[in-house]
Structure 1
């Protein structure tokens, strides 16, 4: 194998910081959650369009009617994942929201159990129980702060479930398409869903001040396109599990950034609960590398 130009861990670290900035940018916007999600996806596909139409349009022929249906459903769930996650940030802290969304591998395992009859081992049950106990501790601490914070935690958990459903519907289609084509189609379906959601909700597409457009564009460029592109580049040189473990530190990076940028302080229950969640998922990864491979190789 050819030697990489730079050590793979450097792009991985940049990738983690990139995705960690997502929650910060959302917190800095004043637009409705659906609008923020819409422009994040719209700017992403606009930036991808030249590359897609220049090099990848021929792959469209590989899609069957079933593929189009599954891709559309994946895009719909991705749209509502963003809506719920962004909305959760209006009620709870960056730290609580991001650490609960990080429980995605456990939702993925539950999905593969029900849909693909994967067996559940004792280690999986124990690791799940550990992570869930951590999320309960976070929820308990947030509930002591306010009922709204607990509501935000619940939205984050539902958002986590929705991103897993998105992956489950898209995994088969992704096998036959390049990352660029699959991402472009799913992002397009998601953008269309968000467009009609905004209309149904009566939310405004604009006008917005220049600062809002800057956050929308940065959401598209940094977490969407830069972060996950770097992860996929690194996969050529490192194990999928390395990426998986690195992404678990997204809540850590997000919490640190939230402290310096937003002035958000961590409570003892958030620190303890977040640590328990991450330890539970690390324990889970040690036994279920193939599930993690599914989660992160197909993550757009």
Structure 2
């Protein structure tokens, strides 16, 4: 997906996990979902649509790439729901270690078949691998830790903070152009995320004081 379309589009589409996980939050984990939360999710969705609209004229945009990103969204949503359920019984480190081992077993065969066989990476490639483990890997670990302590509707909304940052980094390192519509959409998404976090803090405060 990242090779087929803009990095910003991939980040924005995958960040729609909260929309998919609302159903799981209500049915599987009995989490409260108010009209205010639904309105904030709808606002974030509108901001995402604006980003996608703004990037449609970018040369690196691709409908196929966006479609692959939608598939990634569905798989990632399932992963988050299963991770939250598993974290009720398993520690974050143990869960992540098992997840990575299983991922290696599943991904290695097709990678070997489609990549022309195995080859020993050079020093630069190993540095990038180490960076991927240290930075995104730490992010996954923190998210897996949070699953036991934070409602899934809230933790999934936190992912919406990534696309605007991704948009800026893609412009800096990959020379992807930023359109005004993308900036406006990113601002809307961040505003909606702020509203969700404030709402969750208010709910937590009410429960801690014995109200509701």
Report TM bin, short chain. 0.7 to 0.9
- Quick check: 2:24–2:81 contact (8 Å CA) kept in 1? yes
Q: Which moved more, 1:214-223 or 1:240-249?
A: 240-249
- Quick check: 1:100–1:156 contact (8 Å CA) kept in 2? yes
Between structures 1 and 2, the one with greater helix share: 1
Which of the numbers 8, 12, 23 marks the counterpart of 1:95?
Answer: 8
Which of the numbers 39, 44, 53 marks the counterpart of 1:131?
Answer: 44
Q: Which moved more, 1:178-187 or 1:168-177?
A: 168-177
Structure 1 residues 101 and 217, CA gap change in structure 2 (3 angstroms):
same
Structure 1 residues 271 and 204, CA gap change in structure 2 (3 angstroms):
farther
- What is the alpha-carbon distance in structure 1 between the residues aligned to residue 190 and residue 70 of structure 2? 15
Deviation at 1:148, TM superposition (A): 4.2
Question: 5+ unaligned residues in a row in structure 1: which ranges?
Answer: 1-87, 290-300
**Deviations 1:51-89 (CA, angstroms, capped at 9, x unpaired):** xxxxxxxxxxxxxxxxxxxxxxxxxxxxxxxxxxxxx22
- What is the alpha-carbon distance in structure 1 between the residues aligned to residue 85 and residue 155 of structure 2? 21
- Quick check: 1:133–1:273 contact (8 Å CA) kept in 2? yes
* RMSD, matched Cα: 3.5
Deviation at 1:204, TM superposition (A): 3.7
Local SS of the residue matching 2:38: helix
Local SS of the residue matching 1:252: helix
- What is the alpha-carbon distance in structure 1 between the residues aligned to residue 180 and residue 170 of structure 2? 16
- Quick check: 1:94–1:255 contact (8 Å CA) kept in 2? yes
Normalising by structure 1, report the TM-score: 0.54
Deviation at 1:266, TM superposition (A): 1.0
Which of the numbers 272, 290, 293 marks the counterpart of 2:184?
Answer: 272
- What is the alpha-carbon distance in structure 2 between the residues aligned to residue 252 and residue 162 of structure 1? 22
Normalising by structure 2, report the TM-score: 0.72
Instruction: Confirm whether residue 183 of structure 1 aligns to residue 76 of structure 2.
Output: no
Aligned pairs, number: 198
- What is the alpha-carbon distance in structure 1 between the residues aligned to residue 92 and residue 127 of structure 2? 26
